[in-house]
Structure 1
């Protein structure tokens, strides 16, 4: 075969299945290059996608129940858009024309499935692995584990320090004892997953060494765990600064020295921080207010008197979400700002502002930083929102994929824009919503227009039921969207927000050391019993969505996910045969040398006791159903 042109060899190996292609890549450098052909793996991603497998399964059924014919036609209406028949079936070229039409129809179906955008560089080989390979989970050292004193140290937040290329370098988290811990999180780091630095306890809680150790520790734990805010950490990767919210105080920390450089008090407990950029002020959300924080400006001295809000308004109307400018901040008529997102200020004008705020209220608030604190507009959601994020591409709803020709879809994808992704809870169910922000008015929502969600041409998807429990976090990963729910599940969907890709439960992954190989063919794993075990509170991609690195040539593993769980653990989710890192092996070897494996046995005993208590709780729940 070495004398054949590459095009012929590529055509031959296109008939191989993914496991066979992986084995072929070990034969020679030439076959390695050909077996990693990007278009080949893109075709495999499409062929193994849930939508394509469902379509082929429907077409293969010959005896369809007539009662389901209309439903199947509606679910597979894309097949009716492309006519494969020929004008004259008795013509000599009819058979060849029929084959060409089928090929055009297949290509059109693949184009409609394609989740990428013009100009976007995607490594489809990595994308296929992240869609179908076994998932792996590794936990960072000493986060949520028991230390020498027998005390369990938990992380109370998480943030990532990115390098100049937009890839993760360090994982930074405040701990429940008031300290700050830093772990190595770089792809090529030999110490990946290990703690590399830690500040003194009580630093964030402002409990100095003049107190004895036990008092400082107990007071710090009470202070650090009082509010329970998820978005309490924001890292400025350019200036190497970290912002940590503790109760009503914003701590600014120099990450090079791990020293607090400024403390800024706010009138109420801080519930959300925006992403930190050195050129734009940080947006700080409290229970009742929103503020712009400029680190270059010295904080004002605290007033002698403290204002207290008594009897908040019960009005559900959002016409009074902003009641005026009180010292340059926004006063909310309803409490609970839980997530704040900044959009790039250099994007093309889409009729909206730069700041989006979501929380326990049922509308998203939109502000233009130039006119802050004036409210620019709102977008009604109806759900109680937990997390906001965005994609640097326009939102393409399913209606554009199924009811229009590919040329119209290509025009929509080529239009500059962003997608606003929202996760939360609506009537007890997990809600995933997507809104298009585009310079094309017919494809974009506008927060200043009260009829935003009444526009039939606006590209948005409101209240997509994504889970049986509340959604806690959402983030983009590759050509997919990943979110977590209150049952411990992590689920991946296509960028349309509804087509499933894969899912797993972190409690299953912690109990089992390995994932069965059948995950390659059936990535949708069953869930454990809802309401038990750990949950994922925050998901942070290890590569920044707006980074400058080329994702199509980046080494595998640079697009993993960092998670922060409800048990105060910090982990990294990867895909493939190997775990992202192995801290346990390092710890076990060290403990065997120093303590003879005593801590290993303690950890195993703790895991067994937890499983026993969970089993007992399930039995009690079962008996309670019989009135016992």
Structure 2
């Protein structure tokens, strides 16, 4: 077999299924190198895609019965015969067969190809991400021992630090501490450290009252403040400076990840609702419920008072603006940038939920519980440069690597259903601060989800989003063509479609979980994905079995909430499942016309 020309081996591989090609790779390093051909796996991605399956169904309906003899089999037989020295040379046969196959797949490939011009894609990794089994590994659960009772601590956010090939998950806990986990790398041999807690700061490190303002001695107060934040984008990691930013109500804590100590603290007039990505030396953008701020750590807390000052003077000044009608900003002042306080932008619709930097990093796009996407230019901040009307309530925004101009991808809710929207963006001129859309936006408000979309991210050549039903969906970059789906509540069942777990008394410990935030571990096509449910953090990978697992013993469970509470919780889950299925049956029967007038 090793004496066969590489071209012939590759041509034979085009007639095999993906599983057979993977088996072929195990023969030798020579076969592995040949069968990792990018064009081969790109064609396999096309052949096994939903769009290609739909096209074949349409053609089969239009063309009638398919001939019994497959023409490709005859071409392969003829190629093998000539390769053994009979009737001609192998290069001619391969050239003819390849030309025929290219003509047959050229148009479907052009219609489907999700890669942008000039974009380099690992199509083997892309195929793995589209079709390999999925498994979910939960990070080790942190605990707190208080009064001889071991109590679970929930995570209140999610951040990621890539350090020398190792991935470190960073999250604030409900007791005000900062916890770090090592998730390692999925392409390396299993390590006993993967998924385990690396280190954890003292309780009460994060507090709305600033450093030293709250300790674990006042556990009730600290716990309430950490629990009531409810902000998804509350963690931002600067890997260059080895710093992380944590938003706790109106306080922004800068934590040195080497020492797990507060290195700076800033207080804002309103509760922080979103943080942008921290990319040194680009300043951090901080969104509060009613304002937008630029936080530049290079200015020493933005040139204001000491890091541990509560900035009561500033808060009072903000209050005087709100109480004085003569100083209030109207929309004209907001658009003109002539507001009395020039170091922040006023928002007339509350609660920005997601912020990104573009062009390159000078343009700030803000999405939230308001009907438009807001655009600011950092050079002219706080002037509002433009808006993009959506009409939906948006909660997550990202961008696609289009070659000419960026495309914004946003997710949220429209009329009670999930909405996935794409907006091509360009600048009117190179030095202009205004931006506008160059093409008609793409809005998927029908097939995206029956419930609100919670988080959106780029994952290879696909878009990945989660909804409030616990579904994860991968779609093509057109925003509508489904690639695959998975429900995190079906774990550990590795299925692509959601199905009930059996009888109503088969309680699933993960039932009711939703992915509030999704974060790819790296930029590879088959990168693992971190997901945060609002309470715990998991790692979604493309493996048959989870990479790591940490069991919580019955003693820990009972010791934390009590035996009666455990029984009550289990009974509540069973009743919830029974009622949900009864509601599904009622909807099904209604669809048959049983309740029609």
Indicate whether the TM-score tops 0.5.
yes
Q: CA deviation at 1:234?
A: 0.5
Q: Distance in 1 between matches of 2:162 and 2:323?
A: 42
Q: CA deviation at 1:292?
A: 0.3
Q: Is the 8 A contact 2:411 2:420 kept in 1?
A: yes
SS at the partner of 1:358?
Answer: strand
1:198 maps onto 2:200 in alignment: yes
1:570 maps onto 2:537 in alignment: yes
For residues 108-144 of structure 1, the C-alpha deviation after alignment (integer angstroms, 9 at most, x for no partner) is 2212211112332222122111111111100111159
Q: How many residues align?
A: 521
1:543 maps onto 2:509 in alignment: no
Q: Identify the residue that residue 244 of structure 1 maps to in structure 2.
A: 246
Q: Identify the residue that residue 371 of structure 1 maps to in structure 2.
A: 380
Q: Is the 8 A contact 1:321 1:333 kept in 2?
A: no
1:456-495 alignment, distance < 5 Å: 458=439, 460-465=441-446, 466-495=448-477
In structure 2, the CA distance between the partners of 1:379 and 1:145, relative to structure 1 (3 Å rule), is farther
Q: Identify the residue that residue 349 of structure 1 maps to in structure 2.
A: none
1:138-157 alignment, distance < 5 Å: 138-142=137-141, 149-157=149-157
Q: CA deviation at 1:30?
A: 1.7
Q: Identify the residue that residue 407 of structure 1 maps to in structure 2.
A: none
Q: Is the 8 A contact 2:487 2:497 kept in 1?
A: no
SS at the partner of 1:342?
Answer: strand
SS at the partner of 1:161?
Answer: strand
Q: Is the 8 A contact 1:561 1:574 kept in 2?
A: yes
Q: Distance in 1 between matches of 2:366 and 2:500?
A: 32
1:339-418 alignment, distance < 5 Å: 339-345=354-360, 354-392=363-401, 394=402, 415-418=403-406
1:152-167 alignment, distance < 5 Å: 152-163=152-163
Q: Distance in 2 between matches of 1:577 and 1:200?
A: 37
Q: CA deviation at 1:13?
A: 2.3
For residues 285-317 of structure 1, the C-alpha deviation after alignment (integer angstroms, 9 at most, x for no partner) is 0000000001122343413463445799xxxx9
1:3 maps onto 2:3 in alignment: yes
Q: Identify the residue that residue 68 of structure 1 maps to in structure 2.
A: none
Q: CA deviation at 1:226?
A: 1.7
Structure 1 residue runs without a partner (length 5+): 65-96, 347-352, 395-414, 545-550, 592-596
Q: CA deviation at 1:149?
A: 3.0
Q: Is the 8 A contact 2:210 2:251 kept in 1?
A: no
1:229-628 alignment, distance < 5 Å: 229-299=231-301, 300-301=304-305, 302-304=311-313, 306=316, 307-308=318-319, 309=322, 324-325=338-339, 326-345=341-360, 354-392=363-401, 394=402, 415-438=403-426, 448=434, 458=439, 460-465=441-446, 466-509=448-491, 513-515=492-494, 519=495, 523-526=496-499, 533-544=512-523, 551=524, 559-566=527-534, 568-579=535-546, 581-584=547-550, 598-599=555-556, 610=569, 612-620=571-579
Deviates more, 1:495-504 or 1:326-335: 326-335
Q: Identify the residue that residue 113 of structure 2 maps to in structure 1.
A: 114
For residues 468-490 of structure 1, the C-alpha deviation after alignment (integer angstroms, 9 at most, x for no partner) is 11111000111111000011111
Q: Identify the residue that residue 38 of structure 1 maps to in structure 2.
A: 38
Q: Identify the residue that residue 178 of structure 2 maps to in structure 1.
A: 180
SS at the partner of 2:254?
Answer: strand
Q: CA deviation at 1:20?
A: 1.4
Q: Distance in 1 between matches of 2:97 and 2:130?
A: 33
For residues 238-280 of structure 1, the C-alpha deviation after alignment (integer angstroms, 9 at most, x for no partner) is 0000110001010011010000011100000000000001211
Q: Is the 8 A contact 1:356 1:367 kept in 2?
A: yes
Deviates more, 1:23-32 or 1:252-261: 23-32
Q: Is the 8 A contact 2:490 2:499 kept in 1?
A: no
Q: Distance in 2 between matches of 1:115 and 1:623?
A: 41
In structure 2, the CA distance between the partners of 1:153 and 1:12, relative to structure 1 (3 Å rule), is same
SS at the partner of 1:185?
Answer: strand
Q: Distance in 1 between matches of 2:214 and 2:55?
A: 68
Q: CA deviation at 1:11?
A: 1.0
Q: Identify the residue that residue 73 of structure 1 maps to in structure 2.
A: none
For residues 313-343 of structure 1, the C-alpha deviation after alignment (integer angstroms, 9 at most, x for no partner) is xxxx976765743141011111111111011
Q: Distance in 2 between matches of 1:492 and 1:467?
A: 12
For residues 216-247 of structure 1, the C-alpha deviation after alignment (integer angstroms, 9 at most, x for no partner) is 22211111122211101000000000110001
Deviates more, 1:334-343 or 1:46-55: 334-343
C-alpha root-mean-square deviation of aligned residues, in Å?
3.6
Q: Distance in 2 between matches of 1:18 and 1:30?
A: 18
Q: Distance in 2 between matches of 1:44 and 1:63?
A: 24
Q: Is the 8 A contact 2:377 2:433 kept in 1?
A: no
Q: Is the 8 A contact 1:130 1:575 kept in 2?
A: yes
Q: Is the 8 A contact 1:337 1:359 kept in 2?
A: yes
Q: Is the 8 A contact 1:143 1:570 kept in 2?
A: no
Q: TM-score, normalised by structure 1?
A: 0.75
Q: CA deviation at 1:15?
A: 1.3
Q: Is the 8 A contact 1:428 1:470 kept in 2?
A: yes
In structure 2, the CA distance between the partners of 1:608 and 1:448, relative to structure 1 (3 Å rule), is farther
SS at the partner of 2:52?
Answer: helix
Q: Identify the residue that residue 129 of structure 1 maps to in structure 2.
A: 128
Q: CA deviation at 1:514?
A: 3.9
Q: CA deviation at 1:448?
A: 4.2
Q: Distance in 2 between matches of 1:527 and 1:603?
A: 29
SS at the partner of 2:312?
Answer: coil
Q: Is the 8 A contact 1:274 1:341 kept in 2?
A: yes
Q: TM-score, normalised by structure 2?
A: 0.79
Q: Distance in 1 between matches of 2:46 and 2:569?
A: 42
Structure 2 residue runs without a partner (length 5+): 65-95, 306-310, 505-509, 587-597
Q: Identify the residue that residue 15 of structure 1 maps to in structure 2.
A: 15
Q: Distance in 1 between matches of 2:582 and 2:47?
A: 47
